[in-house]
Amino acid sequence: MASTDTDLAPILDTFERRPETLISLLQAVQGRLGYLPPEVLGTVARHARVPRSRVYGVASFYSQFRFNPVGRHRVAVCRGTACHVRGARLILEELERSLGIKEGQTTEDMEYSLETVACIGCCGLSPCISVGDEVSAKLTAKKVRKLFKNAQRSAHK
Ligand code: FES
């Protein structure tokens, strides 16, 4: 896509045109756009001189890369052992209902993205979620409803 190529040119120009730059290149592009739209994979492939399938393979292998836009607030539900045994599944289900999206999706107003993570680091206060840099601990479904009562109820298409 021409406009994407133009937007990304200053970033691409800082990387040598060789396969070894692929991961750094993907990180830089995602840093600029917030995610990796499908049309940029070809641009990255041409620049790094690798097949598009390799770019897709690398980007889908590493969890740091995203193919969908993320919201202004990233809501991460801990699915670690301590949180799991104290009801993380119910917390995730309540968040999905409150936000009107499933795990991996973003609300239509681009306010919230919902994801799960391995551990937030406050296991003694489980179950926990983080919203951006803030952690909410000892959650219940009722607390989740209260926290997100004004959130958007439809998913980004
Ligand atoms: S297991 Fe949830 S914070 Fe560690």
Q: How far is the CA of 152 from the centre of ligand 1 (A)?
A: 27
Closest residue CA from atom 3 of ligand 1:
123
pLDDT tens digits along 133-146: 999 999 999 999 99
Closest residue CA from atom 4 of ligand 1:
123
Q: How far is the CA of 124 from the centre of ligand 1 (A)?
A: 8
pTM: 0.70
pLDDT tens digits along 2-11: 456 668 899 9
Q: Which two tokens stand for residue 7?
A: 């937007």
φ/ψ region of 114 (left if φ > 0, alpha if ψ in -120 to 50, else beta) reads: beta
Question: Is it the case that residue 54 has pLDDT exceeding 80?
Answer: yes
pLDDT tens digits along 78-120: 999 999 999 999 999 999 999 999 998 899 999 999 999 999 9
Give the CB-side neighbour count of residue 64, counting CA atoms within 13 A: 9
> Where are the chain's structural domains?
2-61, 73-147
Pairing mode, if any, of strands 112-117 and 129-131? unpaired
User: Where is average pLDDT lowest: 19-23, 51-55, 147-151?
Assistant: 147-151
Q: Is the CB of 83 under 6 A from ligand 1?
A: yes
CATH classification code of 73-147: 3.40.30.10
Residue 5: exposure state from Cβ atoms within 10 A (0-12, 13-18, ≥19): middle
| Residue 125 CA: distances (Å) to CA of 78, 87, 139 | 11, 12, 9
Q: Is the CB of 126 under 6 A from ligand 1?
A: yes
Q: Is the CB of 117 under 6 A from ligand 1?
A: no
Q: How far is the CA of 72 from the centre of ligand 1 (A)?
A: 23
Q: How far is the CA of 138 from the centre of ligand 1 (A)?
A: 11
Atom of ligand 1 nearest to the CA of 81: 1
Question: What integer pLDDT is reported at residue 156 of this predicted model?
Answer: 53
Question: Is it the case that residue 1 has pLDDT exceeding 50?
Answer: no
